[in-house]
C-alpha cells in the first residue's frame, strides 16, 4: 500500500527559474514535419555514399535503469504562444515563515490540526503556493477525511496540473473509497507526470488489479547496434530478430550526412520525429507475413497501439519520458491527458474510448 510521502525541502523552492524550451518539442512539431516512410528511408540508404553493412546482433542489449530519473514537484508550466515555459515555484519570506511552522507541526509534533492552520496562513499571504494545498490534503488524509482531502488535492491540481503529487495522493484516496474509475484515471496521470517513480508504479499495479485490469509495464530496450566499421565509409547495422527496421532507421539518423539537419533536428539528439520514423520502419519489417512473428514485448505493444493511432503516446511515454521525464513539462495538458488514455489502454488492457 502506498504511504503518503513528504514534500521536498523548501530550500529548493526559493529561487524562481525559467527553463529553456527543450529542442525535442511536443506533438505539434511532429505534425508539421515530414515523416519519411520506410521506402523513402530505403531510398536514402540506396543513394548514400556510405556503405550500410547489415548483419545479426549476437549479444543482448541490457535494459537501462531509469529509477533515479525523477521529476521535481516544485515545477510548473505556462503556455506562451504554443511553447511551454517551465518555472519553479517561489515562496515569499512571509509565507515561508508560516510554512516552516506548519512543517514542524506536521513532521515533528504530529499535530495535524495545528499544521493545517499554518498551511492555511501560507495561502492567506500567497494563494498560489500549491504545496500548502497538498499538505492540507495530507492532514485530512491522516484523519481519514477523504472528502476534504480530495477537495484540497483538486485545488492543488488546478494551480499546477503537471505536479504528479496531488494526482498520486488523490488516486490513493479514490482507491481507499473503492472508486476505481477515478483512481485509474488519476494514477495514470501521475505515471505520465513522473514516469519512473516506483511508488506510482506500485500503486498503479494495485489499482489496476482491483479494477480488474491487467497491469503490464516494460522497458523499451531495442536490440540493435550501429557503428562505424573498419572499412572507409562503412556503417555496421546489427540487430536481433524484429529490430532490423528500427536499426536501419537509427543508422540513417546517426550517420547519413545532413539527414537529421534536413529534418529540422540537431544531430546526436534523439527527437520524437526520429523515433517515429524508426518505429514506422520497424513496423514495416515486423508486419511482413513472410518473417517470423516477434515475441519482444515492446514490438508487440507497438503493433497493438498502431491500430488506435497511439504511436505518439507510445514514443513519449515508453521511450522519451523514460530517459528524460522532465519533457512532460513541455507538453500541453490535453496531450498529457491523451497519454493518460494510452497508459490505461496499453498498460492496463482497457479498450480506448
Read off the pLDDT of residues 126-182 as tens digits, 9 standing for 90 and up: 999 999 999 999 999 999 999 999 999 999 999 999 999 999 999 999 999 999 999
242: left (phi over 0), alpha (psi -120 to 50) or beta: left
Give the chain's residues under pLDDT 50.
Answer: 1-31
Read off the pLDDT of residues 276-312 as tens digits, 9 standing for 90 and up: 999 999 999 888 766 777 889 999 999 989 888 899 9
Q: Is the pTM of this model over 0.85?
A: yes
pLDDT at residue number 137: 98
pLDDT at residue number 290: 65
pLDDT at residue number 288: 77
pLDDT at residue number 14: 33
pLDDT at residue number 34: 83
Nearest to 261 by CA among 23, 96, 28, 69: 23
3-state secondary structure of 308: coil
pLDDT at residue number 81: 82
Helices in the chain by DSSP H: which ranges? 27-32, 38-47, 93-103, 112-125, 130-142, 146-159, 164-176, 180-193, 198-210, 244-255, 259-262, 272-286, 297-306, 311-315, 321-323, 333-342
Amino acid at each position: 500500500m502506498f504511504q503518503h510521502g513528504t514534500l521536498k525541502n523548501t530550500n529548493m523552492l526559493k529561487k524562481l527559474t525559467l527553463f529553456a524550451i527543450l529542442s525535442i518539442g511536443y506533438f505539434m512539431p511532429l505534425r508539421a514535419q515530414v515523416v519519411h516512410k520506410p521506402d523513402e528511408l530505403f531510398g536514402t540508404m540506396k543513394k548514400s555514399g556510405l556503405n550500410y553493412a547489415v548483419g545479426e546482433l549476437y549479444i543482448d542489449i541490457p535494459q537501462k535503469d531509469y529509477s533515479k530519473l525523477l521529476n521535481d514537484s516544485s515545477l510548473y508550466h505556462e503556455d506562451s504562444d504554443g511553447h511551454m515555459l517551465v518555472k519553479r515555484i517561489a515562496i515569499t519570506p512571509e509565507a515561508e515563515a508560516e510554512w516552516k511552522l506548519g512543517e514542524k507541526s506536521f513532521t515533528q509534533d504530529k499535530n495535524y490540526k495545528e499544521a493545517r492552520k499554518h498551511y492555511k496562513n501560507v495561502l492567506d499571504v500567497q494563494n498560489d503556493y500549491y504545496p500548502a494545498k497538498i499538505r492540507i490534503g495530507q492532514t485530512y488524509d491522516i484523519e481519514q477525511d477523504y472528502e476534504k482531502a480530495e477537495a484540497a488535492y483538486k485545488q492543488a491540481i488546478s494551480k499546477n496540473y503537471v505536479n504528479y503529487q496531488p494526482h498520486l495522493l488523490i488516486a490513493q484516496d479514490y482507491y481507499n473509497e473503492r472508486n476505481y474509475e477515478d483512481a485509474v484515471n488519476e494514477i495514470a496521470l501521475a505515471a505520465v507526470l513522473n514516469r519512473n517513480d516506483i511508488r506510482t508504479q506500485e500503486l498503479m499495479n494495485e489499482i489496476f488489479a482491483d479494477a480488474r485490469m491487467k497491469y503490464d509495464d516494460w522497458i523499451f530496450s531495442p536490440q540493435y547496434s550501429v557503428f562505424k566499421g573498419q572499412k572507409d565509409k562503412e556503417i555496421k547495422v546489427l540487430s536481433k530478430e524484429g529490430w532490423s527496421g528500427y536499426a536501419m532507421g537509427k543508422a540513417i539518423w546517426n550517420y547519413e550526412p545532413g539527414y537529421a539537419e534536413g529534418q529540422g533536428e540537431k544531430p546526436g539528439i534523439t527527437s520524437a520525429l526520429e523515433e517515429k520514423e524508426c518505429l514506422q520502419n520497424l513496423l514495416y519489417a515486423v508486419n511482413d507475413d513472410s518473417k517470423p512473428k516477434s515475441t519482444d514485448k515492446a514490438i508487440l505493444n507497438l503493433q497493438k497501439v498502431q491500430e488506435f493511432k497511439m504511436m505518439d503516446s507510445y514514443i513519449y511515454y515508453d521511450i522519451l519520458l523514460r530517459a528524460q521525464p522532465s519533457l512532460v513539462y513541455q507538453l500541453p495538458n490535453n496531450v498529457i491527458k491523451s497519454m493518460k488514455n494510452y497508459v490505461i489502454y496499453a498498460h492496463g488492457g482497457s479498450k480506448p474510448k
